[in-house]
Amino acid sequence: MPDKDLTSLTIRRPDDWHLHLRDGAMLQAVLPETARHFARAIIMPNLVPPVVTAAQAAAYRDRIMAALPDGMRFTPLMTLYLTEATDPEDVRAAHAAGIATAVKLYPAGATTNSASGVRDFEKVRPVLDVMAEIGMPLCVHGEVTDHDIDIFDREAVFIDKILKPLRKKVPDLKVVMEHVTTQDAVDYVRDSHKNMAATITTHHLIINRNHILAGGIKPHFYCLPVAKREAHRIALVQAAVSGDKRFFLGTDSAPHVDAAKLQNCGCAGIFTATNTMSCLAEVFEVAGQLKKLEAFTSINGPMFYGLPPNEATITLTKGDPVPYPDRIDTPDGPVTMFDPGFDLHWRVTG
């Protein structure tokens, strides 16, 4: 049946391969928004203080599970925050014990709570060598942080100056370039023959930099990496709907209370957990590739991480526009939900 005639689609339950849950009261408020539709998620470790050791990751995982509402099933896949003082043997032990699924690389200063990140990549080489040996993926925030590099060019420069040399030195290391935003990144991943994949966010499939800046600054569209030109957004859509196993969903859903977004130096991050599946169904339907939504959300990610796809399924049904709320309330304050700028006709019904 052609996509335009589909009114119902059943797919394996999706996973989110890049998610921010925060901690404390915020964790309790936003976790159900992901667990409602997603079976698993790669959990970002950039708390304050960051999740650096196996013991810290295990404790954070316990807090997540304690916050999960009764009746919901969800598996957090923990990551370790890579620092220049990270112990390779602690990483090995965390992976062997099933505590940590991946390690996260933040170039120092690249995004929210990244001050403890890496400045000298040679200092983390022993960790990367161990990860290559045991098959543990490195999740990369792919931007340089040099102030003399234009913010719209930082992803492309990172590929040339950091990622290519790193992968030549440690060719057996599995790398996920997270939240890619450019044609440059899409082409680089496509041209890589092994051990390379990329996540694409919901919002980068929908917004370009005009959405942030044209007609006035829209702080709820501000994220890092920042959205780029329309040509880059189109390249991301083409990669996502292609079925290429190297591209899969990582929402980078990142809750910040409005008070932290709406100020002179507002936080970077877009909260998409609640309406992601509806947004994605619209994007894939417009592209005429609705039947490939399952590969992007439910198949390609587990394949790269060496995990089985979920046996459970969800069903999306097309109908009247879904009345999503503008924001969710948390004990810390309201968190505004991503507004794609068009009606969402697909809802998860089962």
The residues annotated with a catalytic role in the active site are 252
Q: What are the backbone dihedrals phi and psi of residue 76, each rounded to the nearest 5 degrees, phi first?
A: -80, 130
Query: Residues 81-101, buried b or exposed e (16+ Cβ, 10 A)?
Result: bbbeebbbebbbebbeeebbb
Stated length of the chain: 350
* Assigned token pair, 232: 């880059």
DSSP state, 108?
T
> Do the beta carbons of residue 299 and residue 293 sit within 8 Å?
no
DSSP state, 308?
P
With tokens 């490195």, the residue in question is 138
Burial grade of 75 (CB within 10 A; 0-12, 13-18, 19 or more):
middle
Say whether the peptide bond before residue 340 is cis (omega within 30 degrees of 0): no
Helix (H) / strand (E) element for 269: namely none
Q: Whole-angstrom Cα distance, residue 34 to residue 50?
A: 22
Secondary structure of residue 191 in the 3-state scheme: helix
Q: Whole-angstrom Cα distance, residue 20 to residue 201?
A: 13
Q: Which residues contact residue 188 at a Cβ distance below 8 angstroms, ignoring those fewer than 6 apart? A: 159, 163, 177, 196
* Assigned token pair, 139: 């999740």
Q: Which of 193, 283, 301, 310 is nearest to 247 (CA)?
A: 301
* Assigned token pair, 78: 């923990």
DSSP state, 70?
T
